[in-house]
């Protein structure tokens, strides 16, 4: 377990396939033959609005059948906020639950090959999920 827990985790979920964390429950319920814990899939996409997915906006001109199915079969979050309008600090906030501008990054985004913004000892949402028995991955 890492030393510092955030006061809260802000989980902003917009359905798309640019950046995601996938978590799978590790055990099956013997009675229902279903995972004992729900699967968790967080997808964060740059430059995407809620109207981009047909499940949220049927008049969208972009066919999104797989995302529509995820939205239909899962839990929809319709009121999400980000501490930034750009990628690096938004991802930092999602993964850590912390305000990104309190790090060494004071504006803009990380450049290619810069050291990671998340400190090695910083607790992340993946750490919390693993503590709850999940297997996690980031793509």
Quick: pLDDT tens for 73-88. 888 877 877 888 899 9
Tell me the H-state helices in 1-139. 65-73, 87-96, 125-131
Residue 3 placed within a domain: no
- CA 72, CA 95: separation in Å to the nearest integer? 24
Percent of the chain exceeding pLDDT 90 equals 40
Q: Mean of the per-residue pLDDT values for the chain? A: 77
Residue 9 placed within a domain: no
Residue 13 placed within a domain: no
- CA 1, CA 87: separation in Å to the nearest integer? 27
Question: Three-state DSSP class for 122?
Answer: strand
Residues of the domain holding 39: 19-138
* Closest-CA residue to 39 (of 20, 63, 56, 59): 20
Residue 81 placed within a domain: yes
Q: What is the pLDDT of residue 8?
A: 29
Average pLDDT over residues 126-132: 94
Residue 57 placed within a domain: yes
Q: What is the pLDDT of residue 13?
A: 33
The domain total for the chain is 1
Token pair 């917009």 is at which residue? Answer: 14
Cα Dmax for the chain: 52
The pair phi, psi for residue 46, each rounded to 5°, is: -75, 145
- CA 115, CA 134: separation in Å to the nearest integer? 27
Residue 66 placed within a domain: yes
pTM of the predicted model over 0.85 = no
Residue 94 placed within a domain: yes
Q: What is the pLDDT of residue 46?
A: 77
The pair phi, psi for residue 135, each rounded to 5°, is: -100, 135
Which helix (DSSP H) or strand (DSSP E) does residue 21 occupy?
strand 19-25
Q: What is the pLDDT of residue 120?
A: 93
Q: What is the pLDDT of residue 139?
A: 82
């Amino acid at each position: 377990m890492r030393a510092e827990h955030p006061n809260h985790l802000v989980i902003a979920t917009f359905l798309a396939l640019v950046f995601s964390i996938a978590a799978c429950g590790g055990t099956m319920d013997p009675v229902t033959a279903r995972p004992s814990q729900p699967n968790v899939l967080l997808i964060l996409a740059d430059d995407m609005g809620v109207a981009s997915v047909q499940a949220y906006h049927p008049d969208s001109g972009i066919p999104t059948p797989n995302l529509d199915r995820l939205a239909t079969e899962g839990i929809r979050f319709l009121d999400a906020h980000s501490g930034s309008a750009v990628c690096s600090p938004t991802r930092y906030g999602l993964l850590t639950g912390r305000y990104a501008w309190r790090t060494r990054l004071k504006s803009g985004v990380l450049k290619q090959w810069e050291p990671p913004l998340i400190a090695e000892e910083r607790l992340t949402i993946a750490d919390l999920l693993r503590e709850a028995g999940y297997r996690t991955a980031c793509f």
